[in-house]
Amino acid sequence: MENRQLKFHLRELVLVLFFMKACASDTFPKAQNVTWSSINFKSMLTWSPKPTNYSYTVEFSKLGQDRDRTPHCIKMMETECDLTERLKDLNASYSADILSGPKRGASTDLVEFPHVSSEKFSPYYDTTIGKPEFTIEVSSDKKKTTLNVKDIPTALFNEDEKRLNIRDVFGDNLQYKITYRKAKSTGKREKISKSSIIELTDLDRGESYCFNVQAFLPFRAQDKQHGEISNIQCSPEQNTSLFEEYSMGVIAGAILIIILAITAIVIVIVICCRRRKRAQHTGKEGLPLNGV
């Protein structure tokens, strides 16, 4: 009899605990739409919905290592957490958990809180690179157009608190893709440059060209290789003189050909005139004399 009562009470206790856990889960809803958002290495974790009578805590770690927390993302009422400064190893892959729990000052008997895990994220391989800025220089002889691209500053700093740009982070892995066309045409050409200074020597002199530039990271997965496309910029249209357009040798050759052509024409005209006069004279000598 006593054993039956003990079993009955144990069942009741299990049911109560299960009910409490279910209630607690209803009280602390799980986060939804957990997403990494990163541009120029400013890395944010975002989710929904906005909490009411509960809060969120973010835990993160390198894959395979112990989880950590950042003070400004513990029992928070917001739905985003800036982890830029905590993801020190840019090449590593990270994951994060969003825990739902009581608000600050409130207590609970729960040991395990409802949580949702994020996808894997690596700053080096996943951050988006923003729109670059650049200037256009055309050489005085109009044979070369140079694009000077400004390497975009990031949200990262070195030990001396100097802000790093994307060239500081990626080094020789950073390239730029240039798309260009004549201002009055729709046909496009592309060029890949490993340098931030891009020289173009295959453009028609004096013509206006329009350019777009974007960062290009060929070591990444294909859908993450290209940064955002810059605003379009066009070089000025410049009128070129005959001496700027062609070399002296070409001009001298053209003049010589024209002189030879004119000389040949004159010679042909002179010969034709002489033949005509000779024919007329021969014709007159062959006519019979008129009677007196």
The tokens for 100 are 């739902």
State yes or no: pLDDT of 247 exceeds 70. Answer: no
The tokens for 118 are 């994020």
Q: Which of 11-20, 81-90, 99-108, 246-255 has maximum average pLDDT?
A: 81-90
**Alpha-carbon distance 292 to 277, whole Å?**
29
**Alpha-carbon distance 26 to 283, whole Å?**
126
**Alpha-carbon distance 86 to 43, whole Å?**
10
Q: At 155, is the pLDDT very low, low, confident or very high (cuts 50, 70, 90)?
A: very high
pLDDT at residue 7, as a whole number: 54
DSSP annotation of 85 reads: G
Q: Phi/psi at 167 (nearest 5 deg)?
A: -70, -35
pLDDT at residue 13, as a whole number: 52
**Alpha-carbon distance 222 to 14, whole Å?**
52
Provide the whole-model pTM.
0.71
| Complete DSSP assignment for 99-115 | EEEPPTT-----SS--E
- 206 sits in the region (left: phi over 0; alpha: psi -120 to 50; else beta) called left
Distances from the Cα of 194 to the Cαs of 146, 147, 178, 183, 212, in angstroms? 14, 13, 11, 25, 16
* Domain ranges across the chain: 16-126, 133-245
The tokens for 8 are 């009955």
DSSP annotation of 93 reads: -
Across 127-152, b (16+ Cβ under 10 Å) vs e yields bebbebebebebeeebeebebebebb
Q: Which whole number is the average pLDDT over 101-127?
A: 90
State yes or no: pLDDT of 243 exceeds 90. Answer: no
State yes or no: pLDDT of 240 exceeds 60. Answer: no
Q: Which whole number is the average pLDDT over 134-153?
A: 95
**Alpha-carbon distance 80 to 46, whole Å?**
4
The tokens for 114 are 């409802």
Q: At 45, is the pLDDT very low, low, confident or very high (cuts 50, 70, 90)?
A: very high
| Complete DSSP assignment for 125-187 | HHPBP---EEEEEE-TTSS-EEEEEEPPEEEEE-TT-PEEEHHHHHGGG-EEEEEEEETT---
The tokens for 249 are 């040798």
Sheet containing strand 197-200, strands side by side: 133-138, 145-150, 197-200
Q: Which of 229, 148, 232, 129 is nearest to 196 (CA)?
A: 148
3-state secondary structure of 198: strand
**Alpha-carbon distance 138 to 160, whole Å?**
38
β pairing state of 209-216 and 175-182: antiparallel
Q: Which whole number is the average pLDDT over 240-250?
A: 56
pLDDT at residue 121, as a whole number: 98
CATH architecture of the domain 16-126 equals Sandwich (2.60)
**Alpha-carbon distance 272 to 269, whole Å?**
5
pLDDT at residue 227, as a whole number: 98
Contact predicate 60/68, CB 8 Å: yes
- For the chain, the average pLDDT equals 86
Residue-wise pLDDT for 49-100, tens only, equals 999 899 999 999 998 899 999 999 999 999 999 999 999 999 999 999 999 9
| 133-245 matches 16-126 in CATH topology | yes
Looking at the domain 133-245, which fold is it? Immunoglobulin-like (2.60.40)
